[in-house]
A and B are shown apart, each in its own frame.
Chain A
């Protein structure tokens, strides 16, 4: 089954304790992206990747890191989490053909609480 898999689904952590949220896709997509979703603010892009070793900042990159060493994986790293990073996080992947882009496939989400 074609899918984007995120882990963990739920995570409660303490301020300052480094954490990684994993994301993997099995569709050989070149584009991958991380979003956070907060009430009243909608989906905001954190980082995106156009292909292996190619990443760029989205709208809200502060406090996050990413890497894309393999095409299928795109982990999100919080080096020193703070309470304002409490949110629902989504990983997504997509592809393009020529100048046309295709819809992102989203993971099931990771609900992160930082206390």
Chain B
């Protein structure tokens, strides 16, 4: 069975304090690993897709990386507007499975 585990559950950062979120996964045939940002009460917003180990994607202060067993979302010099829940999901042969998310709070 496909599984996605995200850590930590919650992360409190000072503005400018860089950190990383982890997504470890087991999947039968990875067809894509996705990162989403979700604000309270809103739909998840697509950030990145990664397909193979070694791949990296960047967008503003966010950088996603992928190995064979896990993915990291690095937040560099975060700002308060980066506060959100970040979700990781993996697409296997048959279904898309989500992790429980990491809630990031950035204090000014």
Binding site for B on A (CB under 8 A): 4, 33, 35, 40-45, 48, 58, 88, 90, 92, 96, 99-109, 111
Q: A100-B32, A100-B51, A102-B49 are in contact. Are A42 and B101 (CB under 8 A)?
A: yes
Closest B-chain residue to A58, C-beta based?
B95
The answer to whether B42 has its CB under 8 Å from any CB of chain A is yes
* A102 B32 Cβ-Cβ under 8 A: yes
Find A43's partner among B32, B46, B98 (CB 8 Å cutoff): B98
Interface residues of B in 49-94 (CB under 8 A from A): 49, 51, 87, 89, 91
CA gap between A6 and B44 in the complex, in Å: 14
Total count of chain B residues near the partner, CB < 8 A: 22
Interface residues of B, Cβ cutoff 8 Å to A: 31-32, 34, 36, 41-46, 48-49, 51, 87, 89, 91, 95-96, 98-101
Name A48's closest neighbour in chain B (CB-CB): B95
Asked if residues B32 and A103 are in contact (CB atoms below 8 Å), the reply is yes
Q: Are B95 and A107 in contact (CB under 8 A)?
A: no
B44 touches A90 (CB 8 A): yes
Q: Which residues of A contact B31 (CB under 8 A)?
A: 96, 99-101
With contacts A58-B95, A99-B31 taken as known, whether A105 is within 8 angstroms of B101 at the C-beta atoms is no
Chain A nearest Cβ from B27, distance in angstroms: 12
Contacts of A92 in B (CB 8 A): 43
Asked if A103 and B99 make an inter-chain contact with CB atoms under 8 angstroms apart, the answer reads: no
Max count, chain B CB within 10 A of own CB: residue among A42, A96, A111 = A42
